Amino acid sequence: MLATHIYFLVALTRIASSVNIQPSTFTAPGTFPTSVFSKYYNNPTATSAQPQPVVSDPATHEIYPLALTDPNTIPINNTVDPHPLPPAASSAKIFEAAIAQLKSISESPIFSGDTCGRCQAILEVAKFVSLSTPSNGPAFFIQFCNTFKLSSNCNVAYGQFSGIGSVLTQVVANADVGGYDGQALCQNFFSMCPAPPTLPLDLSSWFSKPKPNPLPAPTKCSGNRLNVLHLSDLHLDPRYLTGAEANCTSGLCCRKNNTNTQSPNIVLSPAPRYGAYRCDTPLSLALAALQAIPALTGTKDNGFAWTIYTGDLVSHDPDNQLSRDYVEYTETIVFDLFKKMLGSGPVYAALGNHDSYNQAQDAPHSLGGALAQQFSWNYDHVAGLWKHENWLPQAAVALARAHYAAYMVKRVDGLRIITLNTDMWYRANYFNYLNMTNPDNSGMLRFLTDELEDAEDAGDKVWIIGHVLTGWDGTNPLKNPTNLFYQIVDRFSPHVVANIFFGHTHEDQINIFYSNNATTMSADTAGAVSWVRYSTFFLKCLFSELYIQMGPSITPLTNLNSGFRVYEVDSATFEIMDAHTWRSDVNTFSSLDSQTAVGPTYGYEYNTRETYGSSISGWGVDDPLNATWWHRVTEAMEADSSLVTTFNTLQGKSSVRTKPCTGDCITAKICYMRSGSVPIAMQNCKQGFGSVQS
């Protein structure tokens, strides 16, 4: 017991000296900080409505009109910038494709299942329509939807302007619908086929050279720590209507157009001005969080060494309420707020699945022509904003414009930041269902591998930043790309890749990577082979296998508290030495409506090392929180399920709505923590316990 107390005392001393935590809580002012913007469309200090700033886009030089974000006039059918349809095919092209698909159908083993065979046969007809008369493609999919009752409003879901009919027309026109692509489409979007298998990888020519053996001499810990901020999933809702229904029956709540069907004419739960559990982030909550960060972390004067943002700026609107202007508005205002509120350090941001229009859609360059460039408006826009904020050098800006908004930055301290557009492995991106037998049909993982090889040659460390995680319970990404990503991480760990960060789930989670595709999960395989050769505590800071950190979200959606995290990072190894998480209790927000004295309070939730460290013997305060450490945490969880209970509570940022984790949930959570790819998660873990949201 005495040793434990001494451990905590030393740990808390390290916390205070490194992160310079100020008060344990920060309460935002009760009135909106009007100086943040120069002009407003309404009175920003009124408590009855959210502020509506006049936003000027430095990249497009456009001033966004009030009608774009007015919660009382939400547009429901954007016809200004639909996705282009593929060009009509020649008769020769139609014949060639028909013969190829006929052959594919005749050889496919899928037709032993009638429902699946029916779906793929329908896609064959859809392919013919999409090639011969693409203007009728969306109408065909509307009829397909009505026939099989795939949506309550097929015109909206599959129309050209308000839905994804034009996207499906593009995809089916180019997909092998009689083979793997078609089976995956029918499984993921129409629930008419079983999931296709994970395909074997041929890595014989993927890497230009084998992994070094022995590995390069390890970098020693410097003992100097950098403070790095991790933000994720802000999901700003500029159409948030204070006083609207906060407990709506379906869709995004706190909106004028979404009610509770039990009482459609009376608001049962009025939306507080700072947010609610079934709603995205109102501007008032976003500002409260950004005011709290420097006050709580002691970074008012110097800012952070850098900030990582792991995606999702835009609110959870249905496609028919979205537009390019709405996405660009959100990107503009959020990045501008980061620049104003977080200090001088650069922000390295990755796009989330909601940071696109249509949401979750991004097309691979392999489509060719104009179709390959149909999302370049977004890549150009965010690259222009990152240049305007002076976060990226020109080379990274150019790379982001040309490569799905993904880029590499080489910092002067020897760390390289590589960001990825993870829509390229996200299940909801229809374009990923083209040429699925290629695990990298977008070239994103080729880009990552080439950058890692350059870093290896230069002796640099790398942080990888993306949005959609590759593993956990395996429900979000696709099998084949994440299988390849896992092998890439293994090839370049631990001597190149220092850390990986994702967002997307809104929850506080981690994933551990193991060598040899996790054939053996142990403390030894979670640490590089070279690590076990050393015996001193100091050298624990030299080598480790990787784990992935999923950052907590600012948005409360769904039934979560709002939070952010700061890492203590060693300045030489770029290992995480400690992590500190703050959160605000959304359950208290309704009590703030009738006064203007105070706003939300953000308070210190937990310290990672302190919370789990007492369970790990022989791990000192100067040893990193690497994958070996996390694997030992999971072993401690197997011996003491109360640690999983703690993890489950923190996963939802201590929300009062987080349900307890018992029985099968205990073993499932440990399994998810050890699963860095979809195949590993699906093969090893019991499903149904991945999220604490309800």
Q: Which amino acid is at 96?
A: E
497-502 and 461-465: which strand pairing?
A: parallel
Quick: pLDDT tens for 464-484. Answer: 999 999 999 999 999 999 999
What pLDDT sits at residue 11?
40
Over pLDDT 90: what percentage of the chain?
Answer: 76
The encoded tokens of residue 142 equal 């509307």
Higher pLDDT, 551 or 574: 574
User: Could you give the 3-state DSSP secondary structure of residue 345?
Assistant: coil
Over residues 514-534, mean pLDDT: 58
DSSP 270: B
Phi, psi of 364 (to 5 degrees): -75, 155
470: left (phi over 0), alpha (psi -120 to 50) or beta: alpha
Taking the C-alpha atoms of residue 288 and residue 300, their distance in angstroms, rounded to an integer, is: 15
**Is residue 124 pLDDT above 80, yes or no?**
yes
Quick: pLDDT tens for 340-364. Answer: 999 889 999 999 999 999 999 999 9
Q: Residue 450 is inside which H or E element, if any?
A: helix 444-458
Percentages helix, strand, coil for the chain, rounded to the nearest 5? Answer: 40, 10, 50
The per-residue pLDDT of the chain, averaged, comes to: 90
**Is residue 234 pLDDT above 60, yes or no?**
yes
What pLDDT sits at residue 15?
42
Over residues 130-151, mean pLDDT: 90
**Is residue 14 pLDDT above 70, yes or no?**
no
Q: Residue 185 is inside which H or E element, if any?
A: helix 180-188
What pLDDT sits at residue 22?
60
Radius of gyration of the chain (CA): 25
497-502 and 408-410: which strand pairing?
A: unpaired
pLDDT band at 539 (very low <50, low <70, confident <90, very high): very low
**Dihedral angle computed from the Cα positions of residues 158, 235, 241 and 77, in that order, rounded to the nearest 10 degrees:** -20
What pLDDT sits at residue 3?
36
pLDDT band at 529 (very low <50, low <70, confident <90, very high): very low
Quick: pLDDT tens for 393-406. Answer: 999 999 999 999 99
What pLDDT sits at residue 108?
80
Phi, psi of 418 (to 5 degrees): -120, 120
Peptide bond into 134 cis (omega under 30): no
**Is residue 41 pLDDT above 80, yes or no?**
yes
What pLDDT sits at residue 162?
81
Contact 636, 616 (CB under 8 A): yes
What pLDDT sits at residue 38?
95
Over residues 625-648, mean pLDDT: 94
Concatenated DSSP letters for 606-618?
EEHHHHHHTTSTT
Q: Which amino acid is at 445?
A: L
How large is the angle between the packed helices 627-639 and 642-651, nearest 10 degrees? Answer: 120
**CA distances for 60 relative to 168, 356, 380, 381, 512, angstroms:** 29, 17, 10, 8, 41
What pLDDT sits at residue 556?
97
In 3D space, the residue among 387, 411, 412 whose CA is nearest the CA of residue 397 turns out to be 387
Over residues 417-435, mean pLDDT: 98
What pLDDT sits at residue 17?
42
DSSP 475: -
Chain Cα centroid distance, residue 451? 21
Over residues 163-189, mean pLDDT: 96
**Is residue 10 pLDDT above 70, yes or no?**
no
Taking the C-alpha atoms of residue 505 and residue 509, their distance in angstroms, rounded to an integer, is: 9
pLDDT band at 63 (very low <50, low <70, confident <90, very high): very high
Taking the C-alpha atoms of residue 103 and residue 437, their distance in angstroms, rounded to an integer, is: 17
The dihedral sign for the CA sequence 548, 417, 312, 225: positive
Q: Which amino acid is at 174?
A: N
306-309 and 347-349: which strand pairing?
A: parallel
Higher pLDDT, 164 or 221: 164
pTM across the whole model: 0.91
